[in-house]
Structure 1
């Protein structure tokens, strides 16, 4: 294996959503990736190239490349990325990595996607690709954030609802505010007490459901615990299960 190749890209747009939440749209010639994969972004900071992994939010083959950031979780690099302006250079790895892709998810009727914060990014990439709609009858996207201001990409999500109707369901969790049509609390609790399934109008079961968990490691760990108690198991290549996981830090 040679050294990973870096390509120089250019920032097209920096969208500041909230104090610590932003999106970068980047123009760069990278290799084709699979929806759900991540790459590395880097900047030269005080003479050193600082790199971190970030999931593609944009769908494969689409330009510009799009990434969703939360400055608090990874310090130095994201706090430099947040200040980038249109035309600024940015380094990006030519090849993507990662196994948080549909290739790794066994067949089922229903696909449940659970994400916290910027952990929604790989799901938006997957949902903007044709394969997921060909493979699953029903898709539930669950996005957990702290406050209403953190709930982004609602226009895109509304387009999925419009296009796929009853086949697509979106459920937001907001932990620090009470907001209509959202669940006030955390995903693991709602998995335990049944309130999520009640809100969505679908049942999670071993026979028909596949689950993907992405984002905050505490959510992933706690949700896994609840799901295991309900008979679900982690999906591994040799022993297929129902839960596919990606931790964000």
Structure 2
């Protein structure tokens, strides 16, 4: 049964009108990069709660959550309205198996996401693990508009600190943006555009993580399977590890 910590909102940072990062301080707790907790708020005499991945690294003391407001949703508008000094509940213990210790070894690591699905990858990249285990890391973030490319400054700092090891490839579907590909990730993989953009190949030495839109995950999984990259299972290790984000 989940326990709850009371946290204080430190910042509600708006990337745009709908996308925001909610930063919360609680008493310290341990988690593995890629895991999630539930956030809870009082509502109509009870508690409303939803699961959100931790964007911050395990050694960082302020919790960070990337949230997109869904106007007809119940919970995300409540989070959107929170301000510094207000309180929120955070579940314990953290959960989830979308972590690098579940991913087999390989030469390259492809961190492919849509929307807020980039969150777990930012937590992973805040640790030493990916840098020590993989020769090449490709962070791919697909969004509708360029304004949705959150944490750009942090990512570009990692690129500068790890030249030749980390590649950042944005994908913007509804407008042109300098340096970004345009289209859907499954099609970009199938046509080879993504591989050409990052200068690498998807072969049996690649490990791919998919996080975000279930349609992207389903279609990308099919395209990757056609290339011989099978789903990664504990009982049968493979190349593709997935996390559906809603």
TM-score (norm 1): 0.97
Alignment match of 1:61 (pick from 45, 59, 62)? 59
Query: Are the counterparts in 2 of residues 209 and 242 from structure 1 also a CA contact under 8 Å?
Result: yes
| Aligned-residue offset at 1:195 | 0.4
Per the alignment, in what secondary structure is the counterpart of residue 143 of structure 1? strand
Task: Name 2:196's counterpart in structure 1.
Answer: 198
Which blocks of at least 5 consecutive residues in structure 2 are unaligned? none
Query: What's the offset of the Cα at 1:61?
Result: 2.3
Return the match for 1:225 from 222, 226, 229.
Answer: 222
Post-superposition offset of 1:133:
0.7
User: C-alpha distance in 2, partners of 1:134/1:177?
Assistant: 36
Q: Distance in 2 between matches of 1:75 and 1:242?
A: 35
- 1:107 is aligned, of 99, 105, 108, to 105
* Residue 74 of structure 1, CA deviation: 8.1
Deviations 1:161-207 (A, max 9, x none): 1110110000000000011210011100001000001111111111x
Matches within 5 A, 1:94-133: 94-133=92-131
Counterpart of 1:37?
Answer: 35
How far the C-alpha of 1:31 sits from its partner, in A, is 2.4
SS of the residue corresponding to residue 163 of structure 2 reads helix
Confirm or deny: 8 A CA contact 1:30 1:94 kept in the other structure: no
- Distance, in Å, in 1 between the alignment partners of 2:71 and 2:120 is 17
| Stretch of structure 1 that moved more, 22-31 or 93-102 | 22-31
The residue that corresponds to 1:137 in the other structure is: 135
Indicate the residue corresponding to 1:213 in structure 2. Answer: 210
- Does the aligned pair in 2 maintain the 1:30–1:95 contact within 8 Å? no
Q: For residues 42-93 of structure 1, what are the alpha-carbon distances to aligned partners after superposition, in whole Å with 9 as ceiling and x for unaligned?
A: 1001212001000000000211110000112881111100000001010001
Q: 2:71 and 2:51 mapped to 1: Cα distance?
A: 12
| Contact 2:141-2:170 at 8 Å conserved across structures | yes
Q: Distance in 2 between matches of 1:194 and 1:37?
A: 31
Q: Distance in 2 between matches of 1:170 and 1:81?
A: 29
TM-score by length of 2: 0.98
Separation of aligned partners in 2, 1:125 and 1:44: 28
Measure the CA separation in 1 of the matches of 2:86 and 2:34.
26
Residue 241 of structure 1, aligned match among 199, 214, 238: 238
Greater shift in the superposed pair: 189-198 or 27-36: 27-36
How many angstroms apart in 2 are the aligned matches of 1:73 and 1:220?
24
Contact 1:13 1:24 in 2 (8 A): yes
User: What stretches of structure 1 of length at least 5 have no aligned partner?
Assistant: none
User: Could you say what secondary structure the match of 1:11 adopts?
Assistant: strand
Aligned length in residues: 246
Contact 2:28-2:61 at 8 Å conserved across structures? no
- SS class of match (1:129): coil
Q: Distance in 2 between matches of 1:49 and 1:175?
A: 36
